[in-house]
Amino acid sequence: MLAGLVAGAVPAAAEDDPFDLLDALWRQQTEHPPMSVTVPDPAGHPRTIEYVEIDGHAVTEGDIVIGTAEEAAAGAFRFPGARRAGRVPPVPDGVPARSRDCRAPGAGTVTAQDGALWPGRTVPYEVSPTLPAAAREALEAAVRDFHGHTCVRFVPRTSEEHFLRVVPGDGCYSYVGRSAGAGQDLSIGQGCEHKGIVIHELMHAIGFYHEHSRADRDAAVTVHLENVIKGFESQFKKLDPARTRLFGPLDYGSVMLYGRKFFSSNGQDTLVPAIPVEIGQRRGFSLGDLAAVRTLYQCPPPRP
């Protein structure tokens, strides 16, 4: 199974293969004035986070919300694994102890922030009445895949304090995991109305980071910072291993992995896999993605 994951296998061909949209997805960040804040990382060393303001949110790595623009400017952003904390939070209740071990089943990079997982494997959500039909269809297709292949359930909100607010914002973005606030925005804007892209954002929402930011990536991919747009180098920094949990080896087929030319200043590759394989797909779950979600949320074994 792991051989298939390293080769970049995906469970099945999907009806949606928006490779031609990948440039537009990361360029949504470069089209806004760049901002930055420097804070201590988990080891106490200065770390600069570049971000842009989109719809009042501070957004980094193309689509990860780290708080409001005001919070980010004050250094109070929500990006666990990138900044110092008073203590390393324990693995949340219900997560297997082996989830910190790279040899655990599946593949993925997950927040270790206390309380970031959704209790009861259930994610309440509201859909903006202004969300276009194409975005609604993509959301419904993504939710069907989650329900068909994992035990995580997205349910219409009733009165829950913590929930996803699905909106037609300026592009695609989401927080990582359950936010400390109440309702948290997940945007399916123009160009994001594809099942695989919505799955990517929902994966962020349930606790997953981009696969290229994992601490053990160096044997699997090479980052070429000389090809990265000036001012966006921090988009390729690794997360602190004490603040994240890793599942399996880096998964080339993951829906959470950057493409080769993300944030390229010159058309040359910024992220190169160690073997000749396609990266950056947005068709849907890889086998490793599914295994990681099932392990993180302790899903019962699939029925034969």
The 3-class secondary structure across the chain, one letter per residue, is CHHHHHCCCCCCCCCCCCHHHHHHHHHHHHCCCCEEEEEECCCCCEEEEEEEEECCEEEECCCEEEEEHHHHHCCCCCCCCCCCCCCCCCCCCCCCHHHHCCCCCCCEEEECCCCCCCHHHEEEEEECCCCCHHHHHHHHHHHHHHHHHCCCEEEECCCCCCEEEEECCCCEEECCCCCCCCEEEEEECCCCCCHHHHHHHHHHHCCECCHHHCCCHHHCEEECHHHECCCCHHHHCCCCHHHEEEECCCCCCCCCCCCCCCCECCCCCCEEECCCCCCCCCCCCCHHHHHHHHHHCCCCCCCC
| Residue 38 CB neighbour total at 10 angstroms | 10
- The residues, any chain, with a CB within 8 Å of residue 27's CB and separated by 6 or more, are none
Q: Which of 201, 211, 233, 278 is catalytic?
A: 201
- Count Cβ atoms below 10 Å from residue 7 Cβ, excluding itself: 12
Residue 15 is a catalytic residue:
no
**Of how many residues is the chain composed?**
304
Positions annotated as catalytic residues are 201
